[in-house]
């Protein structure tokens, strides 16, 4: 009888905790949508920040996230493939442990690291430094996803490919990765959604700019950093612009996450 009572108590506490969390989430989203929609207009996509728009910031954020993906995805997949297909013993476990540590590391710590290693020696913030910081954040997600998805591929598929005379790398590329591509793609989308909404690492590395720019050697336009700056401005118009930018960013992240879920569910 006591076990049943304890079970009911913990079940009630679990449900209560979930409801509290959902209530706060709903409060944040409702506030964001009300204030964001109140400040939203399509002119935001036509003008740069200097003219009261967000065009340069949105483009700049996607450039930073895209460049980070170009750096982080191949490195992360290569590390994940090595761990699962080639790595054995302590070296593979060391990479897994480092990946787990990087996954839990605060983003501001990564920003401070890139600041010390790249920004200080080069003499100033830059788009390249921001992209590298985001790529470092992306790496552990891609590594863990690739490692986990490849581990789900049956060993019999590998053995069948080798029995037909294919080399190991051909088996990995043409059989193993293709079998796990849906899960890997979902992980990549979730990693992209994570970095596109990051602010802390960019504060130290790329900062932001009010003007449109493609020069990655200078301070680079960033939507997230500009939201932080605009929210601290005394003018009401600047804070309204911050709400609109927050609304746009939230919708972008939501679309990317839902796309990953949609792809996984349909392929299953």
Mind listing the pLDDT tens digit for each residue in 43-73? 888 888 888 888 889 999 999 999 999 999 9
Structure tokens at 139: 């790496």
What is this structure's pTM?
0.86
- Where do the structural domains in the chain lie, given as residue ranges? 1-39, 43-267
Instruction: Say what the pLDDT of residue 267 is.
Output: 55
Instruction: Say what the pLDDT of residue 73 is.
Output: 92
Instruction: Say what the pLDDT of residue 164 is.
Output: 80
**pLDDT tens for each residue of the chain, 268 residues long:** 577 878 888 888 999 999 999 999 899 888 888 888 888 888 888 888 888 888 889 999 999 999 999 999 999 999 888 888 887 767 778 888 888 888 888 888 898 999 999 999 988 889 999 999 999 999 999 999 998 888 888 888 887 888 888 788 888 888 888 888 888 888 888 888 888 888 888 988 988 888 888 888 888 999 999 988 888 888 888 888 888 888 888 888 888 878 777 766 655 5
Q: What are the b/e assignments for 159-170, b being 16+ CB within 10 Å?
A: eebeeeebeeee
User: What topology does CATH give the domain 43-267?
Assistant: MetI-like fold (1.10.3720)
Instruction: Say what the pLDDT of residue 69 is.
Output: 92
- Give the dihedral of Cα atoms 232, 236, 241, 243; nearest 10 deg: 70
Q: Are 190 and 257 in contact (CB under 8 A)?
A: yes
Q: Phi and psi dihedrals of 213, rounded to 5?
A: -155, 145
Instruction: Say what the pLDDT of residue 177 is.
Output: 86
Instruction: Say what the pLDDT of residue 99 is.
Output: 83
């Amino acid at each position: 009888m006591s076990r049943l009572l304890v079970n009911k108590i913990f079940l009630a506490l679990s449900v209560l905790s979930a409801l509290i969390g959902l209530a706060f989430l709903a409060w944040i989203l409702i506030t964001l949508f009300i204030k964001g929609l109140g400040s939203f207009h399509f002119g935001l996509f036509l003008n740069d920040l200097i003219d009261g728009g967000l065009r340069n910031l949105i483009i700049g954020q996607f450039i930073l996230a895209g460049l980070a993906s170009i750096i982080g995805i191949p490195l992360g997949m290569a590390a994940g493939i090595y761990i699962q297909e080639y790595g054995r013993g302590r070296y593979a476990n060391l990479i897994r442990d480092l990946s787990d540590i990087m996954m839990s590391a605060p983003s501001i710590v990564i920003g401070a690291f890139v600041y010390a290693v790249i920004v200080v020696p080069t003499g100033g913030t830059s788009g390249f430094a921001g992209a590298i910081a985001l790529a470092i954040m992306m790496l552990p997600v891609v590594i863990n996803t690739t490692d986990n998805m490849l581990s789900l591929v049956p060993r019999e598929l590998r053995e069948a490919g080798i029995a037909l005379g294919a080399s190991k790398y051909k088996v990995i590329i043409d059989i193993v990765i293709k079998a796990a591509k849906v899960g890997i793609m979902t992980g990549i989308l979730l990693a992209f959604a994570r970095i596109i909404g990051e602010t802390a690492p960019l504060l130290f590395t790329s900062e932001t700019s009010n003007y449109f720019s493609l020069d990655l050697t200078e301070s680079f336009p960033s939507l997230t950093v500009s939201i932080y700056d605009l929210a601290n401005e005394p003018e009401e118009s600047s804070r309204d612009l911050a709400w609109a930018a927050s609304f746009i960013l939230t919708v972008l992240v939501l679309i990317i996450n839902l796309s990953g879920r949609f792809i996984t569910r349909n392929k299953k």
